[in-house]
Amino acid sequence: MDLVGEMILAHLAARHAGAIAVTPICPPYRPRLARLPLARRHRATRNADRVLNRFWDYPHRLRRLAARGDHDVYHVVDHSYAQLVHALPAARTVVTCHDLDAFRCLLEPDRDPRPRPFRALARRILEGLQRAAAVACVSEATRRALLAHGVLPAERLHVIPNGISPEFGPDPDPAADAAAARLLGPARFDPDAPPELLHVGSTIPRKRIDVLLAVFAAVRRARPDARLIRVGGPLMPEQERQARALGIADAIVPLPFLDRPVLAAIYRRAALVLQPSAAEGFGLPLAEALACGTAVLASDLDVLREVGGAAATYRPVGDVAAWAEATLELLDARRHGPTAWHARRAAALTQAARFRWSAHVDQLAALYRSLLS
């Protein structure tokens, strides 16, 4: 969520500098247990340090800061830090809610079972969100989900969609394109060239990497020259085992999370972006891909239809056969229907233009003022 904070700061400064003075507050992370020589290698130690920072250090620092009375409105830009609202004047605090993941174990325990300590932390987060004067939802789908679970009343929920960073666009960026070529080899935009399929995101369960791999294996049977570019770090061990069992491990190129200009260059060179998630709060890779003029095949979720509109193609979550068929159809359309493909590209750019950080901060500025009226 660092991107959201960065964009809000930049665009508020550019558009509302005369009326709103913004102070970024990001307390330094203090590792304690991880400093111990024998403990630093253990995941449990790192998690314990995270809990101490998020639920002890940060609230105490904010409580002291709020007591000085220097600020009129507070904005927590990531709902997974909503526990901080307990340390702030809640009547003047906004929280941006991106999805329900941080407290899904409380709202949908059958879907996301968690141990008792995790649920206790999640409850602290959820109760902080419920105390906030206003919650900015990044999509109508997120707002509907919060309403459906009775988390907050409708009048405190405001839909303020994310924007798309300016790096994501259809025009070449020589430096970024060269950096992408160093990672992946020369770009080949010829429709008859071996196709590059792209997935951007983490490997957490709701991203459905299992479906991604199964679809890619099916596509490879018809297009053995295809390769899968996966931005977002290495696969999990069970996902690596699946890739090896499917015989596609050598056709997957794993990349870490990348700087935005380089990621944009990779979107531009991709034949098709795949987003097979089972759930999303917004679906930023879908929006970024469209902004680069790249075709997208996405899960048929309300939130992804909200973002992609008619510019993307949708298939049911987890339906490998339908996804593989649609992928091959889109690759064939790219090769044999240039006029329709150019129209698809134009529709993608038009859809992506709806999501602007300037509009996002204008709506936030109005929301801030409403808390002081």
Q: Give me the residue spans of the domains in the chain.
A: 2-23+71-163+357-372, 174-352
| pLDDT score, position 298 | 99
Q: Which helix (H) or strand (E) holds 199?
A: strand 196-200
| pLDDT score, position 47 | 87
CB of 252 within 8 A of CB of 129? no
| pLDDT score, position 163 | 98
Q: Is the pLDDT of residue 96 over 80?
A: yes
Between residues 44 and 212, the one the model is more confident about = 212
| pLDDT score, position 122 | 98
Compute the Cα dihedral for 88, 109, 316, 209 and give only its sign.
Answer: positive
- Residues 138-177 have pLDDT tens digits of 999 999 999 999 999 999 999 999 999 999 999 999 999 9
Quickly name the fold that domain 2-23+71-163+357-372 has: Rossmann fold (3.40.50)
| pLDDT, the chain, mean | 96
Which burial class, exposed, middle or buried, applies to 75 when counting CB atoms under 10 A from its CB (0-12, 13-18, 19+)?
A: buried
Residue reference for tokens 């405001």:
158
Using 50, 70 and 90 to split pLDDT, how confident is the model at 34? Answer: confident
d(CA 10, CA 51): 29
| pLDDT score, position 43 | 75
What is the percent of the chain where pLDDT is above 90? 91
| pLDDT score, position 40 | 57
Residue reference for tokens 């904070």:
5
Which burial class, exposed, middle or buried, applies to 284 when counting CB atoms under 10 A from its CB (0-12, 13-18, 19+)?
A: buried
| pLDDT score, position 32 | 83
Range scoring the smallest mean pLDDT among 25-39, 45-59, 150-164, 247-261:
25-39
∠ CA 9-11-17 to the nearest 5 degrees? 85
Range scoring the smallest mean pLDDT among 43-52, 87-96, 113-122, 318-327:
43-52
User: Cβ neighbours of residue 152 under 8 Å, at least 6 residues apart?
Assistant: 129, 130, 135, 146
| pLDDT score, position 42 | 72
| pLDDT score, position 204 | 95
| pLDDT score, position 173 | 98
Instruction: Tell me the mean pLDDT in the region 17-25.
Output: 94
| pLDDT score, position 110 | 96
Instruction: Tell me the mean pLDDT in the region 89-116.
Output: 97
Within this chain, domains 2-23+71-163+357-372 and 174-352 share the same CATH topology: yes
| pLDDT score, position 39 | 55
| pLDDT score, position 142 | 97
Instruction: Tell me the mean pLDDT in the region 76-100.
Output: 98
Predicted model pTM: 0.93
d(CA 10, CA 14): 6
Query: Edge-to-edge strand order for the sheet containing 74-76?
Result: 74-76, 93-97, 134-137, 157-159
| pLDDT score, position 292 | 99
**β-bridge pairing 157-159 and 134-137:** parallel
| pLDDT score, position 37 | 65
Exposure of 350 in the CB half-sphere (CA atoms within 13 A): 10
- Residues 179-196 have pLDDT tens digits of 999 999 999 888 889 999
What is the percent of the chain where pLDDT is above 70? 98
- Residues 328-356 have pLDDT tens digits of 999 999 999 999 999 999 999 999 999 99
State in words which class domain 174-352 has: alpha beta
Instruction: Tell me the mean pLDDT in the region 121-127.
Output: 99
Please list the alpha-helical segments (H only) found in 185-275. Answer: 209-222, 237-246, 260-269
Residue reference for tokens 């983490």:
202
Q: 299: which strand partners?
A: 315
SS3 at position 96: strand
DSSP 183: H
Instruction: Tell me the mean pLDDT in the region 287-315.
Output: 98
Q: Measured between alpha carbons, how far is residue 240 from residues 211, 216, 275 in Å?
A: 13, 14, 19
